[in-house]
């Protein structure tokens, strides 16, 4: 990190601590009435300090952590702007539907703004504003849903005093503590708009808070669920969370938070397997059975992933994502650090070091990612990994179908392989004296014990890597991130002392994922994923079923002379291994029923890592605990 960068970041720390102008103008006030849990309509009332003349109010468009212009503008209705009780006409900006223009009348010192926020009845797209935030038993309030603000102001410089009225008797938690609670109304302290939006509130009828670590920088888990039995985070997982914190501190140094809370909202109607990161909390949404279904726990990586974001993403942030407010467009070109390194450190390294998964389960996960990126990504032939990051704002609403050729958000999964490559390379080049942990300590460490933002550029990443181990890291990244690579970067697995192989033994992570997703995965053999009703979810270009003419949304009727089922398909694949005859598949598409022939004889293929005894087992060294064992 350069000196100029330090100066910038400390200026921003000061801004967060004491927003400029807070003393001069009264704060904006926000009242959210969140009592309607049957129709899910939340009422927002803002008073916004204003001076006479033209004013443009903005509804948050670019949502931190979502990296896209997906603010839920379609969910705000009944917008009414008044001054001194008199309605003011508003007009939307013709070039930006998130901006509302009004003329503040003479003599007015503030505007009253009222609107309703409609919780979507079901998930309709990616982003928390396109998914329900309320069920009959719980609600999550991300405050960006409920604000309009002067469009040119910085989110650090606007001060807000918010009140929230909850359903009677509900419990709640948030990183932002109310200064007063009166009945079911919470009175939050005056904070910057940045901090308010960074501090979502979770509330529910069935609620449980579990302390994780105590003392300065304490951590806790709070859970709201649709049924009391779903609060049952197991003692084993609690023990894992209690090891996750010291493992993260051993890797990064002290947290840049005053306290940290994992907020879990569990409901089958909510977004699933998702989390949104904040400096001092995370808003995790998942299925009711998250803590009670073993398959979900093998698959669940969100808790450790979002926690890593407190350092990687919130504290250290790519300059193009450290925007001054929610209207400034985000530049996503470094998401392969922000998200991709979080995939490596959160989903794999810290999750395994803390014992939330076993090393066997971790290797099954790596094998699944390696196979997915290497064998199921024909899109690698036309798009670089870096392009999947840069292109995100245009792809955040992409349909799920044809993902292998389009490439999805591969800057997450593929970068796990790239950072493993870098970690093993550092260990190799330094003769075992240095590792990626040294990079993490220097890049994400810092003196702040409260939220702050320190920006970085790509060259800062390269400089920090070079400081750990001299190497041409720019060329390393260029070849893996910016270039077209028909094959996935598997060098880290090999250098780590393991090999990617395929056989017919199930991969535990892949099996868990099939259960959680509710789709059968035959992508590595036939080349498709299939929903339980036999509808093709997706197809790999160039695969055997693609060559036969299968496309997403077709319905499979029969395979190998048997009525369609995933088991019948697996049996047909096994039979074809020793037969030259093609596999017969009957498919229904619109009003046509067709018989297709699949020329595939490669058998069932599940990915695994197997040990290469000729090399040092660096991977096991990477995944081994580093923090001192907890004292009793
Ligand atoms: Zn993330």
Please compute the mean of the pLDDT values over residues 596-617 and round it to a whole number: 98
Q: What is the pLDDT of residues 201-227, one digit of tens each?
A: 999 999 999 999 999 999 999 999 999
How close is the Cα of 115 to the center of ligand 1, in Å?
31
State the distance from the centre of ligand 1 to the C-alpha of 375, rounded, in angstroms: 24
Strand stretches in 458-602, DSSP E: 498-503, 520-522, 528-530, 536-539, 555-559, 562-563, 583-589, 592-598
- pLDDT tens-digit readout, 168-207: 999 999 999 999 999 999 999 999 999 999 999 999 999 9
Neighbours of 395 (CB within 10 A): 17
- 522 SS3 class: strand
d(CA 367, CA 359): 12
Q: What is the pLDDT of residue 631?
A: 63
Whole-Å CA distances, 371 to 474, 483, 574: 26, 20, 20
Listed residue (379, 264, 236, 363) closest to 617, CA to CA: 363
Can you tell me the mean pLDDT for 145-156? 98
Structure-block tokens of residue 471: 């190497």
- Could you give the C-alpha distances from 271 to 41, 138, 519, in angstroms and in order? 18, 13, 17
What separation in Å is there between the alpha carbon of 305 and the centre of ligand 1?
Answer: 6
Contact predicate 555/588, CB 8 Å: yes
Which pLDDT belongs to residue 371?
A: 98
What does the pLDDT look like over 418-451, one tens digit per residue?
Answer: 999 999 999 999 999 999 999 999 999 999 999 9
**CA 213 remoteness from chain centre:** 24
Cα 129 from Cα 120, distance rounded (Å) = 8
C-alpha 476 – ligand 1 centre gap (Å):
23
Tokens representing 141 are: 């309030």
> What helix, strand, coil percent values describe the chain, rounded to 5?
35, 25, 40
CA of 459 to the centre of ligand 1 (A): 22
Looking at beta carbons, which pairs linking 530-537 to residues 24 or more positions away fall under 8 Å? 530/556, 530/566, 530/569, 534/564, 534/565, 536/587, 537/400, 537/401
399 CA to middle of ligand 1, Å? 20
- The yes-or-no verdict on residue 12 having pLDDT over 80 is no
Contacts of 37 (CB under 8 A, 6+ apart): 134, 135, 136, 137, 139, 167
Q: How many A from CA of 306 to the centre of ligand 1?
A: 6
Mean pLDDT across the chain, nearest whole number? 95
**Separation between Cα atoms, residue 11 and residue 28, nearest integer Å:** 23
Identify which of 387, 382, 374 has the alpha carbon closest to the alpha carbon of residue 413.
374
* Structure token digits, residue 488: 């996935």
Residue 16 has pLDDT above 70, yes or no: no
Distance (Å) from CA 396 to ligand 1 centroid: 14
Compute the distance from residue 300 Cα to the ligand 1 centre, in Å: 13
User: In which band, very low, low, confident or very high, does the pLDDT at 396 lie, cut at 50, 70 and 90?
Assistant: confident
Sign of CA dihedral 148, 149, 151, 156: negative
Query: Tens of pLDDT along 237-280?
Result: 999 999 999 999 999 999 999 999 999 999 999 999 999 999 99
Compute the distance from residue 46 Cα to the ligand 1 centre, in Å: 31
Dump pLDDT digits (tens) for 316-350.
999 999 999 999 999 999 999 999 999 999 999 99
Distance of CA 520 to the CA centre of its chain: 24
Binned at pLDDT 50, 70 and 90, residue 630 comes out as low
Give yes or no for residue 22 having a pLDDT over 70: no
Per the CB < 8 A criterion, the answer to whether 19 and 156 are in contact is: yes
What pLDDT is recorded for position 206?
98
Asked if the model's pLDDT at residue 5 lies above 50, the reply is: no
Its pTM stands at 0.95
Instruction: Give the pLDDT confidence of 488-508 residue by residue, as tens digits.
Output: 999 999 999 999 999 999 999
Task: Give 73's pLDDT tier (boundaries 50, 70, 90).
Answer: very high
Task: Kindly give the distance from the C-alpha atom of residue 65 to the centroid of ligand 1, in angstroms, as a whole number.
Answer: 7
CA 520 – ligand 1 centroid, Å = 26
Long-range contacts of 10-17 (CB under 8 A, 24+ apart): 10/452, 12/156, 12/452, 12/453, 13/448, 13/450, 13/452, 13/453, 15/154, 15/156, 15/157, 15/192, 16/156, 16/192, 16/194, 16/195, 16/450, 16/451, 16/452, 16/453, 17/450
515-528, pLDDT tens digit by residue?
Answer: 999 999 999 999 99
**What's the 126 CA to ligand 1 centre distance in angstroms?**
14
pLDDT band at residue 560 using 50, 70 and 90 as cut-offs:
very high
**What distance in angstroms lies between residue 294's CA and the mean position of ligand 1's atoms?**
23
H helices within 144-290, ranges in order?
Answer: 193-197, 235-252
Ligand 1 centre from 413 Cα, in Å?
11
The confidence score (pLDDT) of residue 340 equals 98
Closest CA to 213 of 259, 266, 269, 167: 259
């Amino acid at each position: 990190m350069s000196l100029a960068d330090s100066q910038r970041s400390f200026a921003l720390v000061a801004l967060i601590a004491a927003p400029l102008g807070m003393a001069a103008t009264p704060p904006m006030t926000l009242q959210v009435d969140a009592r309607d849990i049957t129709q899910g309509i939340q009422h927002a009332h803002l008073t916004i300090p204003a001076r006479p003349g033209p004013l443009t109010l903005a509804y948050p468009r670019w949502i931190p952590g979502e990296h896209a212009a997906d603010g839920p503008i379609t969910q705000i209705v009944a917008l009414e702007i008044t001054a001194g009780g008199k309605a003011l006409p508003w007009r939307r900006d013709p070039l930006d539907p998130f901006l509302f223009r009004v003329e503040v009348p003479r003599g007015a010192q503030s505007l009253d703004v009222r609107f309703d926020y409609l919780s979507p009845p079901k998930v309709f797209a990616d982003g928390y504003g396109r998914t329900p935030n309320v069920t009959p038993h719980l609600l999550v309030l991300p405050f960006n849903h409920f604000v309009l603000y002067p469009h040119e102001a910085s989110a650090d410089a606007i001060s807000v005093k918010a009140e929230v009225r909850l359903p009677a008797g509900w419990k709640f938690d948030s990183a932002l503590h109310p200064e007063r609670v009166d009945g079911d109304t919470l009175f939050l302290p005056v904070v910057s708009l940045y901090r308010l939006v960074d501090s979502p509130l979770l509330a529910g009828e069935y609620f449980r808070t579990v302390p994780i670590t105590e003392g300065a920088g304490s951590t806790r888990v709070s859970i709201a669920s649709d049924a009391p039995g779903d609060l049952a985070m197991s003692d084993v997982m609690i023990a894992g969370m209690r090891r996750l914190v010291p493992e993260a501190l051993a890797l990064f140094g002290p947290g840049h938070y005053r306290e940290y809370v994992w907020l879990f909202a569990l409901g089958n109607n909510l977004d699933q397997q998702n989390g949104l990161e904040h400096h001092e909390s995370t808003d995790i949404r998942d299925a009711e059975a998250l803590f009670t279904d073993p398959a979900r726990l093998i698959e669940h990586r969100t808790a450790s992933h979002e926690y890593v974001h407190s350092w990687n993403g919130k504290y250290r942030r790519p300059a193009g994502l450290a925007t001054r407010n929610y209207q400034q467009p985000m530049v996503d070109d470094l998401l392969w650090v922000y998200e991709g390194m979080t995939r490596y450190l959160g989903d794999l390294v810290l999750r395994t070091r803390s014992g939330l998964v076993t090393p066997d389960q971790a290797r099954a996960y790596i094998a699944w990612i390696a196979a997915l990126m290497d064998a199921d990504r024909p899109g690698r032939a036309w798009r670089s990994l870096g392009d999947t990051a840069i292109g995100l704002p245009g792809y955040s609403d992409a349909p799920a179908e044809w993902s292998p050729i389009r490439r999805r958000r591969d800057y997450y999964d593929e970068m796990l392989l790239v950072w493993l490559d870098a970690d093993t390379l550092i260990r190799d080049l330094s003769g075992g004296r240095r590792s990626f942990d040294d990079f993490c300590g220097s890049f994400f460490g810092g003196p702040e014990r409260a939220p702050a933002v320190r920006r970085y550029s790509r060259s800062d990443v390269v400089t920090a890597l070079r400081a750990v181990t001299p190497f041409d890291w720019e060329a390393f990244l260029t070849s893996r991130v910016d270039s077209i690579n028909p094959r996935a970067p598997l060098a880290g697995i090999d250098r780590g002392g393991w090999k990617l192989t395929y056989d017919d033994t199930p991969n535990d992570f892949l099996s868990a994922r099939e259960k959680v997703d509710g789709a059968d995965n035959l992508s590595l053999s036939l080349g498709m994923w299939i929903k339980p009703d036999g509808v093709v979810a997706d197809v790999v270009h160039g695969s055997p079923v693609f060559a036969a003419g299968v496309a997403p949304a077709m319905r499979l009727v029969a395979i190998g002379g048997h009525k369609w089922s995933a088991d019948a398909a697996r049996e047909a694949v096994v039979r074809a291994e020793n037969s030259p005859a093609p596999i017969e598949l009957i498919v229904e598409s619109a009003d046509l029923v067709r018989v297709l022939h699949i020329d595939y004889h490669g058998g069932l293929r599940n990915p695994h890592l197997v040990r290469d005894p000729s090399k040092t087992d660096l991977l096991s060294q990477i995944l081994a605990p580093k923090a001192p064992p907890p004292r009793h």
